[in-house]
Amino acid sequence: MRFTLLATLVGLAVGAFAQSSSADAYVAFESPIAKVGVLANIGPSGSKSQGAKASASNSAGIVVASPSTSNPNYLYTWTRDTSLVFKALIDQFTSGEDTTLRGLIDSFTSSQAILQQVSNPSGTVSTGGLGEPKFNIDETAFTDAWGRPQRDGPALRSTAIISYANWLLDNSNTTYVTQTLWPIIKLDLDYVANNWNQSTFDLWEEVNSSSFFTTAVQHRALREGATFATRIGQTSVVAGYTTQADNLLCFLQSYWNPIAGYITANTGGGRSGKDANTVLTSIHTFDPAAGCDAATFQPCSDKALSNLKVYVDSFRSIYTINSGIAANAAVATGRYPEDSYQGGNPWYLTTLSVAEQLYDALIVWDTLGSINVTATSLSFFQQFSSGIAAGTFPSTSATYTTLTSAIKDFADGFVAMNAQYTPSNGGLSEQYSRSTGAPVSAVDLTWSYAATLTAFHARSGKTYAGWGAAGLTVPAVCSTSGSGTGSGGATVAVTFNVQATTVFGENIYLTGSVDALENWSPDNALLLSAANYPVWSITVNLPASTSVEYKYIRKNNGAVTWESDPNNSITTPASGSATETDTWR
C-alpha cells in the first residue's frame, strides 16, 4: 500500500501537490514514527529489539539492524549501523532536543565496551577484532562467513562517543569521561591509526579494497580524536593521530575522478564507482564551520555537488518508478546502479541522503551569504538555471534566490519520493521496489528511521558540532604508514590511464614491482575503473623518488592475459603527483 494515509491527511493524492507541500506533510507524519522506529529496535526494552524469535535476548544499548529474521536475516547488531544511529540520538540529546536519552546512551557506551573485548573471526581486541562488522544481539561473536574486516565501525563509534564525552566535559563529568569513555575511544582511534591503509570491505559489505566512505570517516575520527585527547590531557597520542589524519586527507583526494566529475567510491570491485557511499560520506562528515571545502568534500563543495548530480542521474533510466520524471527533478536512488541485491532497488536511506546533502548545502550558503559556482560544479547548477556561468552570487542577487529556491524544491522532491512509497503505517523497510515502489527486504530497518530523522533535522536548518574540517591543508606528500607514528617512506599519487578495448566480462588490472602494485601478483593485481571507457584508470600511492616497473593484465572468467613485453616503467617524483598515459600492447 502506498502512503495513502498522508494523502488522506492533506486531502489530496500524493502526486498531485507540490514537492514542498508533500515534504511538509511527510515530515509532520513520519517524524514521530521514525523516532519510535529507532527506539523500538534498541535493547533490551525496545518493542521490536528481540525480533520474531521468542528466545532472542539482547542487552541494553544493543541496536538490532532490523527485526527481520529471514530473507534477509538482520537480527544482528552492526558496529557501523549502531554508531550512526547513536550519533543521531547523541546529537538530539546534547543539543537539548531530547533530554530523556541519557540512560540509553550510557547503555550504548557500556555495550560497546563489551563488544570491543569479544574475540571474533577478525581477531581479539589487540589483533584486529575491532574490525569485525557485526555480532549476535546477545553480545557474542558472529562466526559464520562474512565480508570482514570492515574498518569504518571503530571510526564511527569513536566519533559518536566523543560527541557525548564532550557534552559530559561541558557539564563537569570529567571522571566518567577519562576513566570510562576514554579507554573505549582510544581503542578505536588506535585501531584506525594503525590500520587505515589496509584493505577493507566497503559499507555495503561487498567490495574488499579501499573505500571513500571508510577513508573519510577515519579521517574525521582522528581529527576529533586528536582534539579530544588534547582536551583531557592525553597529549602523548596527539602527534600520531594528527600525522595519520594528514595521510588520510591526502589519500582521500585520490578517489576524485576529475574527468568524469565524480568520486569513485571504491578502488576495487569492477563497478563504475557511482555509489551512495559518496553522498553518505558528505553528510556524515559535514562540518558547518568548514564552508564549502572541497578537500573534505563538504556538502556544498563543487566536487560533492558534481558527484551528487552524477550519482542521481545514474538511476534515472534504470528504475521503472523513475520513468517520465524530468531530467532536473528528484528520483528514487539506490546504492549503486549495478546493484542486484534483493533485485537492486531504491533505498529509503540513500534517497534521503541526497536530500540531506542539499539541505546541508543550503544551510552553509545561507551562513556564507553567497553561492560560488565553479567549472566543476557548473553542470549541477545548470539543472536549475540553464544559462548560469561560473562565478560568485551573493545572497542579495536574483540568481542566488533562484538557485536556492530551486535546490530546496529539488531536495524536497527526494523526501516526497520516499513519501510516495512509504506504507500507510509509516513503517520503513530497507528498500522499495524499482518497478512498483512496494516495500522490499528487511522490515523496520533502524538505519532507515535514523536517516529519516537526520534528513528532517537538516531540512529544519539544524546543525551540530563540527569536527575540525575548517582550514585543513592537503599535504604535498602522502605517507601510507599505518603505524600511528608517522614512520614510513613518503609516497606520491600516480594515476595510471590505459586505453584498452575489452569484451563483455573482461576487466583490466595493474601490477608491478613494488608492494603498492602487489609485486607482480596476477591474483592480487589492482582493478582499474572503466568509468571513462575505453580508457581504464586507477590512482595508486607509490613510493616517492623510486623507479617502478609495471604492466597491465586482462582477466576474463579466470583467464589472465599479460600485456606484451617490455615492462612499462616510471620514476616517481619526490612530491606531488604524476599521471601515466598508456595504450594496451
The pLDDT tens digits of the residues spanning 314-352 come to 999 999 999 999 999 999 999 999 999 999 999 999 999
How far CA 542 is from CA of 479, 545, 579, in Å, comes to 9, 9, 12
Residue 392 — φ and ψ, nearest 5°?
A: -110, 130
For residue 15, pLDDT over 60 is answered with no
Percent of the chain whose pLDDT exceeds 70? 93
- Ranked by mean pLDDT, the top range of 257-271, 302-316, 516-530 is 302-316
Contact 40, 31 (CB under 8 A): no
Q: Residue positions in the annotated binding site for substrate? A: 146
pLDDT tens column, 119-163: 999 999 999 999 999 999 999 999 999 999 999 999 999 999 999
Annotated catalytic residue within 24, 106, 205, 206 = 205
Q: Which of 109-113, 147-151, 504-508, 571-575 has the lowest mean pLDDT?
A: 571-575
CATH code for the structural domain at 57-236: 1.50.10.10
For residue 565, pLDDT over 90 is answered with no
Q: Residue 218 contacts by C-beta under 8 Å, 6 or more apart in sequence?
A: 151, 152, 155, 192, 196, 248
Helical segments of 320-432, H only: 348-368, 378-382, 398-420
Question: Which residue ranges make up each domain of the chain?
Answer: 1-40+258-466, 57-236, 489-583
Q: Which of 11-20, 339-348, 419-428, 500-509 has the lowest mean pLDDT?
A: 11-20
Q: Residue positions in the annotated binding site? A: 146
Indicate the pairing of strand 200-201 with strand 506-512.
Answer: unpaired
3-state secondary structure of 300: coil
How far CA 40 is from CA of 98, 119, 539, in Å, comes to 16, 28, 44
Annotation marks residue 202 as catalytic: yes
Annotation marks residue 205 as catalytic: yes
- Mean pLDDT value of segment 511-516: 87
Instruction: Convert 141-165 into a string of H (helix), E (strand) and C (coil).
Output: ECCCCCCCCCCCHHHHHHHHHHHHH
CATH code for the structural domain at 1-40+258-466: 1.50.10.10
Domain 489-583 has CATH 3.30.60.50: no
Residue 47: DSSP 8-state: T
Q: How far apart are CA 434 and CA 253, in angstroms?
A: 33
pLDDT confidence tier of residue 518, bands split at 50, 70 and 90: confident
**Quick one: cell of 166?**
564532550
- Mean pLDDT value of segment 493-509: 91
pTM metric for this prediction: 0.82
pLDDT confidence tier of residue 19, bands split at 50, 70 and 90: low
pLDDT tens column, 266-279: 988 888 999 999 99
User: For residue 166, what is the enclosing H or E element?
Assistant: helix 153-170
- Mean pLDDT value of segment 350-363: 98
Q: Can you give the pLDDT at residue 367?
A: 98
> What amino acid is encoded at 499 in this protein?
Q
- Mean pLDDT value of segment 77-101: 98
125: nearest Cα among 113, 140, 136, 137: 113
Mean confidence (pLDDT) of the chain: 91
- Mean pLDDT value of segment 206-235: 96
* One fold for 57-236 and 489-583: no
pLDDT confidence tier of residue 6, bands split at 50, 70 and 90: very low
pLDDT tens column, 168-188: 999 999 999 999 999 999 999
Q: Can you give the pLDDT at residue 191?
A: 96
pLDDT tens column, 448-491: 999 999 999 999 999 999 999 999 999 887 776 543 333 345 77
Q: How far apart are CA 550 and CA 513, in angstroms?
A: 6
Burial class (CB in 10 A: 0-12, 13-18, 19+), 564: exposed
Q: Can you give the pLDDT at residue 485?
A: 31
- Mean pLDDT value of segment 93-112: 97
Q: Which residues of 329-362 are buried (b: 16+ CB within 10 A; e: fewer)?
A: bbbbbbbbbebeebebbbbbbbbbbbbbbbbbbb
Annotated catalytic residue within 152, 188, 202, 356 = 202
Higher pLDDT, 244 or 523: 244
pLDDT confidence tier of residue 522, bands split at 50, 70 and 90: confident
